[in-house]
Chain A
Amino acid sequence: MTLADGIWQQIFVFDDYGELLALVRNSLVAGAALGLIGGLAGVFVILRDLPFAVHGISELSFAGASAALLMGVNVVAGSIIGSLVAAAVIGVMGARARDRNSAIGIIMPFGLGLGVLFLALYKGRAANKFGLLTGQIVAVDTPQMTWLLATSAVVLIALAVMWRPLSFASADPDVAEARGVPVRGLSLAFMLVLGLAVALSVQVVGALLVLTLVVTPAAAAVRVTASPVLLPVLSVVFAVVSIEGGILLALGSSIPISPYVTTISFALYAVCRLVGVRPRRRRGAGRRVTAPEPAF
Protein backbone atom coordinates (compact mmCIF):
# COMPACT_ATOMS: atom_id res chain seq x y z
CA MET A 1 0.00 0.00 0.00
CA THR A 2 1.42 3.35 -0.94
CA LEU A 3 1.60 6.25 1.43
CA ALA A 4 -0.98 8.12 -0.60
CA ASP A 5 -3.45 5.27 -0.24
CA GLY A 6 -2.88 5.28 3.51
CA ILE A 7 -3.62 8.94 3.82
CA TRP A 8 -6.67 8.64 1.61
CA GLN A 9 -8.07 5.91 3.81
CA GLN A 10 -7.53 8.06 6.87
CA ILE A 11 -9.48 10.90 5.32
CA PHE A 12 -12.39 8.86 3.99
CA VAL A 13 -13.50 6.07 6.32
CA PHE A 14 -16.94 4.58 5.98
CA ASP A 15 -16.76 1.47 8.23
CA ASP A 16 -19.71 1.03 10.60
CA TYR A 17 -21.22 4.14 9.11
CA GLY A 18 -24.78 3.46 10.24
CA GLU A 19 -23.86 3.18 13.91
CA LEU A 20 -21.71 6.30 13.77
CA LEU A 21 -24.52 8.23 12.16
CA ALA A 22 -26.70 7.69 15.23
CA LEU A 23 -23.95 9.21 17.38
CA VAL A 24 -23.88 12.48 15.49
CA ARG A 25 -27.61 13.00 15.18
CA ASN A 26 -27.35 15.96 17.53
CA SER A 27 -24.57 17.45 15.49
CA LEU A 28 -26.57 17.12 12.28
CA VAL A 29 -29.48 18.99 13.82
CA ALA A 30 -27.13 21.62 15.22
CA GLY A 31 -25.42 21.82 11.85
CA ALA A 32 -28.69 22.57 10.10
CA ALA A 33 -29.46 25.34 12.59
CA LEU A 34 -25.96 26.77 12.19
CA GLY A 35 -26.14 26.64 8.42
CA LEU A 36 -29.41 28.54 8.55
CA ILE A 37 -28.28 31.39 10.77
CA GLY A 38 -24.71 31.47 9.42
CA GLY A 39 -26.02 31.76 5.88
CA LEU A 40 -28.48 34.50 6.80
CA ALA A 41 -26.09 36.54 8.94
CA GLY A 42 -23.48 36.12 6.21
CA VAL A 43 -25.60 38.12 3.77
CA PHE A 44 -25.19 41.19 5.97
CA VAL A 45 -21.56 40.40 6.72
CA ILE A 46 -20.92 40.75 2.99
CA LEU A 47 -23.25 43.71 2.57
CA ARG A 48 -21.65 45.58 5.48
CA ASP A 49 -18.11 44.44 4.78
CA LEU A 50 -17.60 42.73 8.13
CA PRO A 51 -15.54 39.55 7.51
CA PHE A 52 -12.70 40.83 9.66
CA ALA A 53 -15.15 41.54 12.48
CA VAL A 54 -16.38 37.96 12.26
CA HIS A 55 -12.84 36.74 12.72
CA GLY A 56 -12.24 39.09 15.65
CA ILE A 57 -15.44 38.02 17.37
CA SER A 58 -14.62 34.35 16.93
CA GLU A 59 -11.27 34.75 18.70
CA LEU A 60 -12.94 36.29 21.74
CA SER A 61 -15.61 33.65 21.55
CA PHE A 62 -12.78 31.13 21.73
CA ALA A 63 -11.38 32.87 24.82
CA GLY A 64 -14.82 32.72 26.46
CA ALA A 65 -15.25 29.06 25.60
CA SER A 66 -11.81 28.08 26.91
CA ALA A 67 -12.42 30.02 30.12
CA ALA A 68 -15.66 28.08 30.54
CA LEU A 69 -13.82 24.83 29.87
CA LEU A 70 -11.24 25.69 32.52
CA MET A 71 -13.90 26.59 35.08
CA GLY A 72 -15.96 23.54 34.22
CA VAL A 73 -19.07 25.51 33.26
CA ASN A 74 -21.16 25.44 30.08
CA VAL A 75 -18.85 25.97 27.10
CA VAL A 76 -21.57 27.31 24.82
CA ALA A 77 -22.50 29.94 27.38
CA GLY A 78 -18.83 30.91 27.76
CA SER A 79 -18.45 31.21 24.05
CA ILE A 80 -21.60 33.33 23.75
CA ILE A 81 -20.43 35.70 26.48
CA GLY A 82 -17.03 36.11 24.81
CA SER A 83 -18.70 36.79 21.47
CA LEU A 84 -21.14 39.35 22.81
CA VAL A 85 -18.39 41.27 24.61
CA ALA A 86 -16.33 41.38 21.40
CA ALA A 87 -19.34 42.33 19.27
CA ALA A 88 -20.35 45.13 21.65
CA VAL A 89 -16.81 46.53 21.77
CA ILE A 90 -16.47 46.43 17.98
CA GLY A 91 -19.96 47.86 17.53
CA VAL A 92 -19.40 50.77 19.90
CA MET A 93 -15.78 51.57 19.04
CA GLY A 94 -15.97 51.06 15.34
CA ALA A 95 -18.85 52.91 13.78
CA ARG A 96 -16.65 53.71 10.80
CA ALA A 97 -14.90 51.02 8.81
CA ARG A 98 -11.43 52.32 9.49
CA ASP A 99 -11.87 52.65 13.26
CA ARG A 100 -13.54 49.28 13.27
CA ASN A 101 -10.64 47.46 11.69
CA SER A 102 -8.13 48.85 14.16
CA ALA A 103 -10.46 48.04 17.06
CA ILE A 104 -10.67 44.47 15.82
CA GLY A 105 -6.95 44.24 15.21
CA ILE A 106 -6.37 45.26 18.80
CA ILE A 107 -8.84 43.02 20.60
CA MET A 108 -8.38 39.94 18.43
CA PRO A 109 -4.83 38.94 19.49
CA PHE A 110 -5.75 39.74 23.09
CA GLY A 111 -8.67 37.33 22.91
CA LEU A 112 -6.59 34.64 21.27
CA GLY A 113 -3.87 35.07 23.90
CA LEU A 114 -6.41 34.74 26.73
CA GLY A 115 -7.79 31.60 25.11
CA VAL A 116 -4.35 30.04 24.86
CA LEU A 117 -3.71 30.88 28.51
CA PHE A 118 -6.93 29.20 29.66
CA LEU A 119 -6.27 26.14 27.55
CA ALA A 120 -2.72 25.85 28.90
CA LEU A 121 -4.11 25.88 32.42
CA TYR A 122 -6.78 23.30 31.56
CA LYS A 123 -5.85 19.75 32.57
CA GLY A 124 -8.67 17.85 30.90
CA ARG A 125 -8.87 15.99 27.61
CA ALA A 126 -6.65 17.42 24.89
CA ALA A 127 -9.34 16.81 22.26
CA ASN A 128 -11.57 19.35 24.00
CA LYS A 129 -8.91 22.00 23.60
CA PHE A 130 -8.18 21.30 19.99
CA GLY A 131 -11.88 21.12 19.21
CA LEU A 132 -12.48 24.73 20.19
CA LEU A 133 -10.03 25.89 17.57
CA THR A 134 -10.68 23.50 14.72
CA GLY A 135 -14.09 22.03 15.40
CA GLN A 136 -15.45 18.69 16.50
CA ILE A 137 -18.52 16.77 15.51
CA VAL A 138 -19.49 14.88 18.61
CA ALA A 139 -19.07 17.93 20.80
CA VAL A 140 -22.76 18.62 20.97
CA ASP A 141 -24.50 16.93 23.88
CA THR A 142 -28.13 17.39 24.77
CA PRO A 143 -27.87 20.34 27.22
CA GLN A 144 -25.63 22.17 24.75
CA MET A 145 -28.12 21.36 22.06
CA THR A 146 -30.81 23.23 23.95
CA TRP A 147 -28.52 26.27 24.15
CA LEU A 148 -27.67 26.06 20.48
CA LEU A 149 -31.24 25.80 19.30
CA ALA A 150 -32.54 28.49 21.64
CA THR A 151 -29.82 30.91 20.57
CA SER A 152 -30.42 30.10 16.93
CA ALA A 153 -34.08 30.94 17.42
CA VAL A 154 -33.16 34.29 18.97
CA VAL A 155 -30.88 35.10 16.03
CA LEU A 156 -33.49 34.03 13.53
CA ILE A 157 -36.24 36.14 15.06
CA ALA A 158 -33.97 39.18 15.41
CA LEU A 159 -32.92 38.93 11.77
CA ALA A 160 -36.50 38.49 10.58
CA VAL A 161 -37.66 41.58 12.45
CA MET A 162 -34.88 43.90 11.29
CA TRP A 163 -34.23 42.41 7.85
CA ARG A 164 -35.60 45.25 5.73
CA PRO A 165 -34.38 48.30 7.63
CA LEU A 166 -31.04 46.56 8.09
CA SER A 167 -30.78 45.96 4.34
CA PHE A 168 -31.68 49.59 3.72
CA ALA A 169 -29.18 50.86 6.30
CA SER A 170 -26.44 48.54 5.01
CA ALA A 171 -26.78 49.33 1.33
CA ASP A 172 -27.77 52.97 1.50
CA PRO A 173 -27.03 54.44 4.97
CA ASP A 174 -27.37 58.07 3.88
CA VAL A 175 -30.91 57.87 2.61
CA ALA A 176 -31.89 55.35 5.29
CA GLU A 177 -30.93 57.83 7.97
CA ALA A 178 -32.81 60.59 6.18
CA ARG A 179 -35.88 58.38 6.20
CA GLY A 180 -35.67 57.86 9.95
CA VAL A 181 -34.09 54.41 10.02
CA PRO A 182 -32.07 54.08 13.26
CA VAL A 183 -28.85 53.38 11.41
CA ARG A 184 -26.52 53.37 14.41
CA GLY A 185 -28.84 51.33 16.56
CA LEU A 186 -29.25 48.74 13.83
CA SER A 187 -25.51 48.56 13.37
CA LEU A 188 -25.02 47.72 17.03
CA ALA A 189 -27.98 45.34 17.07
CA PHE A 190 -26.59 43.47 14.10
CA MET A 191 -23.16 43.18 15.70
CA LEU A 192 -24.77 41.50 18.71
CA VAL A 193 -26.77 39.14 16.51
CA LEU A 194 -23.60 38.37 14.60
CA GLY A 195 -21.86 37.69 17.91
CA LEU A 196 -24.46 35.06 18.73
CA ALA A 197 -24.20 33.46 15.29
CA VAL A 198 -20.41 33.33 15.57
CA ALA A 199 -20.53 31.80 19.06
CA LEU A 200 -22.71 29.01 17.71
CA SER A 201 -20.46 28.37 14.74
CA VAL A 202 -17.43 28.11 17.01
CA GLN A 203 -19.04 25.04 18.59
CA VAL A 204 -18.95 23.06 15.40
CA VAL A 205 -16.28 24.38 13.03
CA GLY A 206 -14.00 25.90 15.67
CA ALA A 207 -12.85 29.47 16.24
CA LEU A 208 -10.31 29.58 13.45
CA LEU A 209 -12.76 28.59 10.74
CA VAL A 210 -15.97 30.43 11.50
CA LEU A 211 -15.53 32.46 8.34
CA THR A 212 -16.20 29.34 6.31
CA LEU A 213 -19.81 29.28 7.59
CA VAL A 214 -20.53 32.95 8.05
CA VAL A 215 -18.73 34.52 5.10
CA THR A 216 -17.98 32.05 2.31
CA PRO A 217 -21.55 30.88 1.58
CA ALA A 218 -22.90 34.43 1.31
CA ALA A 219 -19.89 35.53 -0.72
CA ALA A 220 -20.57 32.63 -3.09
CA ALA A 221 -24.27 33.54 -3.37
CA VAL A 222 -23.43 37.17 -4.16
CA ARG A 223 -21.49 35.98 -7.19
CA VAL A 224 -24.55 34.45 -8.79
CA THR A 225 -27.52 36.58 -7.76
CA ALA A 226 -28.55 40.04 -6.67
CA SER A 227 -32.14 39.07 -5.93
CA PRO A 228 -33.17 39.90 -2.36
CA VAL A 229 -34.94 36.55 -2.07
CA LEU A 230 -32.54 34.23 -3.86
CA LEU A 231 -29.46 35.69 -2.16
CA PRO A 232 -30.28 34.59 1.41
CA VAL A 233 -31.80 31.32 0.19
CA LEU A 234 -28.67 30.33 -1.73
CA SER A 235 -26.42 31.47 1.08
CA VAL A 236 -28.30 29.25 3.54
CA VAL A 237 -28.27 26.30 1.13
CA PHE A 238 -24.51 26.62 0.64
CA ALA A 239 -23.88 26.88 4.38
CA VAL A 240 -26.09 23.89 5.20
CA VAL A 241 -24.57 21.76 2.43
CA SER A 242 -21.06 22.63 3.63
CA ILE A 243 -21.64 21.79 7.24
CA GLU A 244 -23.83 18.72 6.85
CA GLY A 245 -21.59 17.40 4.09
CA GLY A 246 -18.58 18.04 6.30
CA ILE A 247 -20.11 16.18 9.24
CA LEU A 248 -21.06 13.19 7.09
CA LEU A 249 -17.64 12.92 5.51
CA ALA A 250 -15.73 13.47 8.75
CA LEU A 251 -17.74 10.84 10.55
CA GLY A 252 -15.51 7.81 10.33
CA SER A 253 -12.15 9.51 10.41
CA SER A 254 -10.01 10.80 13.22
CA ILE A 255 -9.47 14.07 11.42
CA PRO A 256 -11.27 17.18 12.71
CA ILE A 257 -14.40 18.25 10.87
CA SER A 258 -13.14 21.61 9.68
CA PRO A 259 -11.11 20.60 6.60
CA TYR A 260 -14.17 18.85 5.22
CA VAL A 261 -16.45 21.84 5.83
CA THR A 262 -13.99 24.39 4.53
CA THR A 263 -13.27 22.38 1.41
CA ILE A 264 -16.91 21.98 0.47
CA SER A 265 -17.59 25.62 1.23
CA PHE A 266 -14.60 26.75 -0.81
CA ALA A 267 -15.54 24.48 -3.70
CA LEU A 268 -19.04 25.97 -3.75
CA TYR A 269 -17.53 29.45 -3.82
CA ALA A 270 -15.19 28.50 -6.66
CA VAL A 271 -18.07 27.12 -8.72
CA CYS A 272 -20.19 30.22 -8.11
CA ARG A 273 -17.30 32.44 -9.02
CA LEU A 274 -16.92 30.61 -12.33
CA VAL A 275 -20.63 30.42 -13.10
CA GLY A 276 -21.32 33.95 -11.98
CA VAL A 277 -19.09 35.90 -14.28
CA ARG A 278 -21.76 38.54 -14.47
CA PRO A 279 -23.03 39.36 -17.90
CA ARG A 280 -21.16 42.51 -18.78
CA ARG A 281 -23.99 44.75 -19.68
CA ARG A 282 -24.41 45.42 -23.35
CA ARG A 283 -21.91 48.21 -23.16
CA GLY A 284 -21.76 50.24 -26.32
CA ALA A 285 -24.41 48.00 -27.84
CA GLY A 286 -26.43 50.88 -29.14
CA ARG A 287 -28.42 51.33 -25.93
CA ARG A 288 -27.82 54.76 -24.54
CA VAL A 289 -29.83 56.73 -22.11
CA THR A 290 -31.36 59.27 -24.39
CA ALA A 291 -33.87 61.92 -23.56
CA PRO A 292 -35.92 60.88 -20.56
CA GLU A 293 -39.46 59.72 -20.97
CA PRO A 294 -41.00 61.45 -18.01
CA ALA A 295 -44.56 60.34 -17.55
CA PHE A 296 -45.44 62.84 -14.91
Chain B
Amino acid sequence: MASVPHAREGDAGTGEGGADDGAAPVVALRGAALSYGARTVWRDLELEVRPGEFVAVLGPNGSGKTSLVRALLGRWELSAGTLTVLGRPPREVSRQIGYVPQQAALSTQAPLRARELVRFGIDGHRFGPARRTRAVRRRVDEILREVGALSYADVPLGLLSGGERQRVRIGQALATDPRILLCDEPLLSLDLHHQRAVTELIDARRRAHGTAVVFVTHEINPVLGLVDRVLYLAPGGHRVGTPDEVLTSEALSRLYGTRVEVVRVHGRVVVVGAPDSPGAPEGTPHHPQELHERDGVRP
Protein backbone atom coordinates (compact mmCIF):
# COMPACT_ATOMS: atom_id res chain seq x y z
CA MET B 1 0.00 0.00 0.00
CA ALA B 2 2.77 2.34 0.88
CA SER B 3 4.66 1.99 -2.34
CA VAL B 4 5.19 4.97 -4.54
CA PRO B 5 4.24 3.92 -8.02
CA HIS B 6 6.54 4.60 -10.90
CA ALA B 7 5.79 4.63 -14.53
CA ARG B 8 5.99 1.15 -15.93
CA GLU B 9 8.40 0.84 -18.74
CA GLY B 10 8.07 -1.27 -21.80
CA ASP B 11 5.35 -3.63 -20.64
CA ALA B 12 2.57 -2.01 -22.55
CA GLY B 13 3.05 -4.32 -25.48
CA THR B 14 0.76 -2.41 -27.79
CA GLY B 15 3.33 -0.74 -29.96
CA GLU B 16 1.66 1.90 -32.00
CA GLY B 17 -1.36 2.11 -29.73
CA GLY B 18 -4.86 0.95 -30.42
CA ALA B 19 -6.50 -2.08 -28.94
CA ASP B 20 -4.57 -5.22 -28.26
CA ASP B 21 -7.00 -7.88 -29.37
CA GLY B 22 -5.17 -10.80 -27.88
CA ALA B 23 -4.81 -9.46 -24.37
CA ALA B 24 -7.12 -10.26 -21.50
CA PRO B 25 -9.81 -7.63 -21.01
CA VAL B 26 -9.16 -5.04 -18.31
CA VAL B 27 -12.86 -4.38 -17.91
CA ALA B 28 -15.51 -7.04 -18.48
CA LEU B 29 -19.25 -6.54 -18.20
CA ARG B 30 -21.29 -9.70 -18.77
CA GLY B 31 -25.07 -9.69 -18.84
CA ALA B 32 -24.88 -6.59 -16.72
CA ALA B 33 -27.96 -4.65 -15.64
CA LEU B 34 -28.35 -1.73 -13.32
CA SER B 35 -31.50 -0.40 -11.72
CA TYR B 36 -32.56 2.25 -9.28
CA GLY B 37 -35.52 0.68 -7.53
CA ALA B 38 -37.99 -0.29 -10.22
CA ARG B 39 -36.30 1.69 -12.98
CA THR B 40 -33.75 -0.24 -15.01
CA VAL B 41 -31.27 2.06 -16.72
CA TRP B 42 -29.60 -0.62 -18.80
CA ARG B 43 -29.59 -4.41 -19.07
CA ASP B 44 -27.87 -7.27 -20.91
CA LEU B 45 -24.78 -5.16 -21.28
CA GLU B 46 -21.85 -7.09 -22.76
CA LEU B 47 -18.62 -5.16 -22.98
CA GLU B 48 -14.97 -6.06 -22.83
CA VAL B 49 -12.38 -3.32 -22.83
CA ARG B 50 -8.88 -4.39 -23.82
CA PRO B 51 -5.57 -2.78 -22.86
CA GLY B 52 -4.91 0.35 -24.89
CA GLU B 53 -8.45 0.49 -26.18
CA PHE B 54 -10.35 3.78 -26.29
CA VAL B 55 -14.04 3.23 -25.64
CA ALA B 56 -16.39 6.19 -25.77
CA VAL B 57 -19.63 5.94 -23.83
CA LEU B 58 -22.33 8.02 -25.49
CA GLY B 59 -25.99 8.59 -24.95
CA PRO B 60 -28.57 11.14 -23.91
CA ASN B 61 -29.05 12.31 -20.36
CA GLY B 62 -30.66 9.69 -18.19
CA SER B 63 -29.45 6.78 -20.28
CA GLY B 64 -27.16 5.55 -17.52
CA LYS B 65 -23.73 6.93 -18.41
CA THR B 66 -23.07 8.23 -14.93
CA SER B 67 -24.48 5.02 -13.48
CA LEU B 68 -21.96 3.07 -15.51
CA VAL B 69 -19.17 5.21 -14.08
CA ARG B 70 -20.41 4.54 -10.57
CA ALA B 71 -20.59 0.83 -11.25
CA LEU B 72 -17.05 0.80 -12.66
CA LEU B 73 -15.82 2.56 -9.54
CA GLY B 74 -17.53 -0.03 -7.38
CA ARG B 75 -19.85 2.55 -5.90
CA TRP B 76 -23.03 1.00 -7.21
CA GLU B 77 -23.91 -2.68 -7.35
CA LEU B 78 -25.20 -4.22 -10.55
CA SER B 79 -28.71 -5.61 -10.30
CA ALA B 80 -27.75 -8.50 -12.57
CA GLY B 81 -24.72 -9.90 -14.35
CA THR B 82 -21.09 -9.43 -13.50
CA LEU B 83 -18.57 -6.64 -13.69
CA THR B 84 -14.88 -7.30 -13.26
CA VAL B 85 -11.90 -5.01 -13.52
CA LEU B 86 -8.66 -6.92 -14.13
CA GLY B 87 -10.62 -10.02 -13.27
CA ARG B 88 -11.64 -8.78 -9.84
CA PRO B 89 -14.43 -6.74 -8.25
CA PRO B 90 -13.78 -3.04 -8.96
CA ARG B 91 -13.48 -2.09 -5.30
CA GLU B 92 -10.45 -4.30 -4.86
CA VAL B 93 -8.52 -2.68 -7.65
CA SER B 94 -9.34 0.98 -7.12
CA ARG B 95 -5.67 1.92 -7.56
CA GLN B 96 -5.79 0.52 -11.09
CA ILE B 97 -8.57 2.89 -12.12
CA GLY B 98 -7.59 6.50 -12.71
CA TYR B 99 -10.77 8.51 -12.37
CA VAL B 100 -11.14 11.91 -14.03
CA PRO B 101 -14.45 13.44 -12.94
CA GLN B 102 -16.25 16.39 -14.45
CA GLN B 103 -14.15 19.42 -13.72
CA ALA B 104 -17.06 21.22 -12.11
CA ALA B 105 -16.94 18.61 -9.34
CA LEU B 106 -13.99 20.35 -7.74
CA SER B 107 -14.56 23.21 -5.34
CA THR B 108 -12.79 26.28 -6.61
CA GLN B 109 -12.82 27.76 -3.12
CA ALA B 110 -10.68 25.12 -1.48
CA PRO B 111 -7.29 26.39 -0.35
CA LEU B 112 -5.56 23.74 -2.37
CA ARG B 113 -2.73 23.81 -4.86
CA ALA B 114 -2.32 21.68 -7.96
CA ARG B 115 0.47 19.83 -6.18
CA GLU B 116 -1.78 18.69 -3.33
CA LEU B 117 -4.46 17.44 -5.67
CA VAL B 118 -1.96 15.18 -7.40
CA ARG B 119 -0.57 14.06 -4.08
CA PHE B 120 -4.04 13.04 -2.93
CA GLY B 121 -3.96 10.60 -5.83
CA ILE B 122 -0.86 8.95 -4.36
CA ASP B 123 -1.45 8.78 -0.62
CA GLY B 124 -4.58 10.82 0.12
CA HIS B 125 -6.44 7.70 1.24
CA ARG B 126 -3.91 6.74 3.93
CA PHE B 127 -4.57 7.44 7.58
CA GLY B 128 -1.84 8.44 9.98
CA PRO B 129 1.24 10.60 9.57
CA ALA B 130 2.91 11.07 6.20
CA ARG B 131 5.66 8.68 5.21
CA ARG B 132 8.29 8.72 2.45
CA THR B 133 7.59 12.39 1.95
CA ARG B 134 10.56 13.10 -0.27
CA ALA B 135 9.88 10.22 -2.66
CA VAL B 136 6.24 11.23 -2.88
CA ARG B 137 7.18 14.83 -3.61
CA ARG B 138 9.53 13.74 -6.39
CA ARG B 139 6.81 11.60 -7.91
CA VAL B 140 4.34 14.52 -7.78
CA ASP B 141 6.81 16.72 -9.67
CA GLU B 142 7.34 13.96 -12.22
CA ILE B 143 3.60 13.64 -12.81
CA LEU B 144 3.06 17.38 -13.07
CA ARG B 145 5.83 17.55 -15.66
CA GLU B 146 4.26 14.69 -17.62
CA VAL B 147 0.93 16.47 -17.90
CA GLY B 148 2.55 19.84 -18.57
CA ALA B 149 1.31 21.39 -15.33
CA LEU B 150 4.60 21.92 -13.52
CA SER B 151 4.59 25.66 -14.15
CA TYR B 152 1.49 26.13 -12.03
CA ALA B 153 2.15 23.43 -9.45
CA ASP B 154 1.99 25.91 -6.56
CA VAL B 155 -0.95 27.98 -7.76
CA PRO B 156 -4.23 27.57 -5.83
CA LEU B 157 -6.70 25.59 -7.92
CA GLY B 158 -9.25 28.37 -7.72
CA LEU B 159 -6.99 30.55 -9.84
CA LEU B 160 -6.49 27.99 -12.61
CA SER B 161 -8.52 27.88 -15.78
CA GLY B 162 -10.79 24.92 -16.46
CA GLY B 163 -8.31 23.42 -18.88
CA GLU B 164 -5.40 23.76 -16.49
CA ARG B 165 -7.44 22.18 -13.69
CA GLN B 166 -8.33 19.28 -15.93
CA ARG B 167 -4.64 18.67 -16.69
CA VAL B 168 -4.00 18.49 -12.97
CA ARG B 169 -6.96 16.13 -12.68
CA ILE B 170 -5.45 13.82 -15.25
CA GLY B 171 -2.19 13.98 -13.36
CA GLN B 172 -4.02 12.96 -10.21
CA ALA B 173 -5.68 10.08 -12.03
CA LEU B 174 -2.31 8.88 -13.36
CA ALA B 175 -0.63 9.12 -9.98
CA THR B 176 -1.10 5.44 -9.20
CA ASP B 177 -0.03 4.46 -12.70
CA PRO B 178 -3.43 2.89 -13.43
CA ARG B 179 -4.26 0.37 -16.16
CA ILE B 180 -7.57 2.08 -16.87
CA LEU B 181 -8.49 5.75 -17.23
CA LEU B 182 -12.13 6.40 -16.50
CA CYS B 183 -13.10 9.86 -17.66
CA ASP B 184 -16.54 11.28 -16.92
CA GLU B 185 -17.25 14.20 -19.24
CA PRO B 186 -13.71 15.55 -18.90
CA LEU B 187 -14.25 18.09 -21.67
CA LEU B 188 -17.32 19.69 -20.19
CA SER B 189 -17.17 23.49 -20.26
CA LEU B 190 -13.73 23.55 -21.85
CA ASP B 191 -13.10 25.55 -24.99
CA LEU B 192 -12.00 23.73 -28.14
CA HIS B 193 -8.37 24.55 -27.58
CA HIS B 194 -8.34 22.99 -24.12
CA GLN B 195 -10.53 20.11 -25.27
CA ARG B 196 -7.87 19.18 -27.78
CA ALA B 197 -5.05 19.54 -25.25
CA VAL B 198 -6.83 17.28 -22.77
CA THR B 199 -7.73 14.60 -25.31
CA GLU B 200 -4.15 14.58 -26.63
CA LEU B 201 -2.89 14.10 -23.12
CA ILE B 202 -5.17 11.13 -22.57
CA ASP B 203 -4.31 9.64 -25.93
CA ALA B 204 -0.57 10.02 -25.33
CA ARG B 205 -0.88 8.11 -22.09
CA ARG B 206 -2.84 5.35 -23.75
CA ARG B 207 -0.34 4.94 -26.57
CA ALA B 208 2.71 4.96 -24.34
CA HIS B 209 1.40 2.67 -21.60
CA GLY B 210 -1.40 0.67 -23.12
CA THR B 211 -3.78 2.21 -20.65
CA ALA B 212 -7.38 1.47 -21.54
CA VAL B 213 -9.61 4.54 -21.73
CA VAL B 214 -13.32 4.59 -20.93
CA PHE B 215 -14.48 8.01 -21.94
CA VAL B 216 -17.99 9.12 -21.04
CA THR B 217 -19.12 12.05 -23.12
CA HIS B 218 -22.20 13.57 -24.68
CA GLU B 219 -20.07 14.84 -27.54
CA ILE B 220 -18.20 12.37 -29.70
CA ASN B 221 -16.52 14.78 -32.10
CA PRO B 222 -13.56 15.94 -29.99
CA VAL B 223 -12.49 12.30 -29.60
CA LEU B 224 -13.83 10.83 -32.84
CA GLY B 225 -10.37 10.28 -34.30
CA LEU B 226 -9.20 8.35 -31.22
CA VAL B 227 -12.16 6.14 -30.50
CA ASP B 228 -11.80 2.41 -31.14
CA ARG B 229 -15.30 1.49 -30.08
CA VAL B 230 -18.46 3.20 -28.95
CA LEU B 231 -20.95 2.11 -26.32
CA TYR B 232 -24.14 3.96 -27.12
CA LEU B 233 -26.65 3.92 -24.27
CA ALA B 234 -30.21 4.93 -25.07
CA PRO B 235 -33.53 4.58 -23.30
CA GLY B 236 -34.52 1.79 -25.69
CA GLY B 237 -31.35 -0.28 -25.38
CA HIS B 238 -27.69 -0.02 -26.20
CA ARG B 239 -25.24 -0.82 -28.94
CA VAL B 240 -21.54 -1.57 -28.91
CA GLY B 241 -19.35 -1.28 -31.99
CA THR B 242 -16.95 0.87 -33.95
CA PRO B 243 -18.07 4.45 -34.59
CA ASP B 244 -18.85 3.49 -38.17
CA GLU B 245 -21.15 0.71 -37.04
CA VAL B 246 -22.94 2.55 -34.26
CA LEU B 247 -23.13 6.12 -35.44
CA THR B 248 -25.41 5.47 -38.35
CA SER B 249 -28.96 6.58 -39.03
CA GLU B 250 -30.17 2.96 -38.95
CA ALA B 251 -28.50 2.00 -35.68
CA LEU B 252 -29.50 5.13 -33.78
CA SER B 253 -33.04 5.12 -35.19
CA ARG B 254 -33.42 1.60 -33.85
CA LEU B 255 -32.02 2.60 -30.45
CA TYR B 256 -34.27 5.60 -30.09
CA GLY B 257 -37.29 4.02 -31.73
CA THR B 258 -37.77 7.07 -33.87
CA ARG B 259 -36.28 8.50 -37.04
CA VAL B 260 -32.78 9.79 -36.32
CA GLU B 261 -30.45 11.12 -39.00
CA VAL B 262 -26.70 10.80 -38.65
CA VAL B 263 -24.79 13.03 -41.02
CA ARG B 264 -21.06 13.18 -41.56
CA VAL B 265 -19.76 16.62 -42.37
CA HIS B 266 -16.03 17.24 -42.76
CA GLY B 267 -15.20 14.22 -40.64
CA ARG B 268 -17.63 15.30 -37.97
CA VAL B 269 -20.68 13.39 -36.81
CA VAL B 270 -23.90 15.31 -36.51
CA VAL B 271 -26.92 13.62 -34.99
CA VAL B 272 -30.25 15.15 -35.87
CA GLY B 273 -33.53 14.32 -34.19
CA ALA B 274 -32.33 12.28 -31.21
CA PRO B 275 -34.78 12.95 -28.41
CA ASP B 276 -33.22 13.76 -25.07
CA SER B 277 -35.23 12.27 -22.28
CA PRO B 278 -36.52 15.06 -20.08
CA GLY B 279 -36.20 15.11 -16.34
CA ALA B 280 -33.12 12.96 -16.43
CA PRO B 281 -31.81 12.26 -12.93
CA GLU B 282 -28.15 12.46 -13.85
CA GLY B 283 -25.54 15.02 -13.02
CA THR B 284 -24.92 16.09 -16.57
CA PRO B 285 -26.24 19.49 -17.61
CA HIS B 286 -29.37 19.46 -19.54
CA HIS B 287 -29.31 21.57 -22.64
CA PRO B 288 -30.21 19.26 -25.48
CA GLN B 289 -30.62 22.17 -27.82
CA GLU B 290 -27.18 23.44 -27.13
CA LEU B 291 -25.60 20.01 -27.37
CA HIS B 292 -27.00 19.33 -30.76
CA GLU B 293 -25.96 22.66 -32.07
CA ARG B 294 -22.47 22.21 -30.73
CA ASP B 295 -22.22 18.83 -32.41
CA GLY B 296 -21.75 20.39 -35.76
CA VAL B 297 -19.53 23.29 -34.88
CA ARG B 298 -15.81 23.26 -35.21
CA PRO B 299 -13.50 25.91 -36.56
Segment with Cβ contacts to A, from B52-60, B157-165, B217-225, B285-293: B157-165
Whether B99 lies near A178 (C-beta < 8 A) is: yes
CB neighbors of B among A162-184 (8 A): 162, 164-165, 167-168, 170-172, 174-181
Residues of B close to A181: CB separation below 8 A: 124-125
Whether A172 lies near B117 (C-beta < 8 A) is: yes
Whether A292 lies near B197 (C-beta < 8 A) is: yes
Q: Mark A171-211, 1 if CB is under 8 A from B, else 0.
A: 11011111111000000000000000000000000000000
Whether B209 lies near A296 (C-beta < 8 A) is: yes
From A180, which residue of chain B is reached at the shortest CB distance?
B94
Whether A175 lies near B208 (C-beta < 8 A) is: no
Bound-state Cα–Cα, A90 to B148, Å: 42
Taking the nearest CB of chain B, how far is it from the CB of A157, in angstroms?
Answer: 11
Whether A289 lies near B194 (C-beta < 8 A) is: yes
B94, B107, B113, B205: the one within 8 Å of A294 (CB): B205
Whether A165 lies near B112 (C-beta < 8 A) is: no
Range of interface residues on A (Cβ < 8 Å): 35 or more
Range of interface residues on B (Cβ < 8 Å): 35 or more
Q: Mark B90-131, 1 if CB is under 8 A from A, else 0.
A: 010011010101000111011111001100110111111110
Whether B209 lies near A175 (C-beta < 8 A) is: no
Bound-state Cα–Cα, A178 to B176, Å: 13
A160 at the interface (CB under 8 A from B): yes
Q: Say yes or no: A295-B146 contact (C-beta < 8 A), given A168-B120, A171-B120, A174-B101.
A: yes
CB neighbors of B among A115-141 (8 A): none
Bound-state Cα–Cα, A231 to B113, Å: 12
A18 at the interface (CB under 8 A from B): no
Q: Mark A219-262, 1 if CB is under 8 A from B, else 0.
A: 00010011110010000000000000000000000000000000
Chain A residues in the interface with B (C-beta under 8 A): 46-47, 49, 160-162, 164-165, 167-168, 170-172, 174-181, 222, 225-228, 231, 278, 280-281, 287, 289-296
Q: Return the 6 tightest CB-CB contacts between A and B, nearest first.
A: A296-B208, A168-B124, A294-B204, A226-B156, A171-B110, A178-B99
Known: A281-B155, A292-B197. 4 other contacts (CB 8 A): A47-B110, A160-B128, A172-B124, A292-B200
